[in-house]
Structure 1
Amino acid sequence: IHKIKGEASEEFEKLFPARQPSRVTIRTTDGQEHSVYLEYPKGDPREPMTEGDLDDKFAALTAPHLTDEGRSRIKDAIFTCETLPGIHHFMGLMVED
């Protein structure tokens, strides 16, 4: 953690809220720099998450709390929610695991 440094950018701040740029730069011990620039954060309507992104995020956030089977049941319910008999069915999935 002591090797991580965050800095605000006045240039980026001036672009907000029309744009929400960010840049991450990693400097290796041999002095090489690797940088990535994003105009909008992932999940912004202008930079939407893919179904794969959502699946990965859901798995990462729920792994400590749900089994693979539990996650699968909830995902299936989400993607077919129009056919569920009511919200009580969906909420029941949250506690079955």
Structure 2
Amino acid sequence: MTGNQGRWPKIDPDSGIEDVTLLILEWLGAQGVNALIRMDAERAAENAPAWTFAASGGPLEHGMRADGRTVQQCMSTALSQLREAGLSVPF
């Protein structure tokens, strides 16, 4: 991520969290956190929460996981957990 410092775009306050998910992942990577978001088609077909966010490493003492029926639900839960773990995610 060399050379990417300070290039964060202005965020549209009317857009949803799903619009900044990749920026959140990139920011977490810059903090040394391994993170991913995944959509599981089998779980979606079963009407179960199909979106999963997982993160570990860096300043996180323990790995974490958040699930949701939508990417917005999943990422909202994930951001709450990240902030509780002491990461001030700027989005």
Measured against the shorter chain, the TM-score band is under 0.3
Scaled by the length of structure 2, the TM-score of the pair is: 0.26
- Answer 1 or 2: higher relative contact order, Cα 8 Å, separation at least 6: 2
Whichever structure has more strand as a proportion of its residues is 2
Scaled by the length of structure 1, the TM-score of the pair is: 0.25
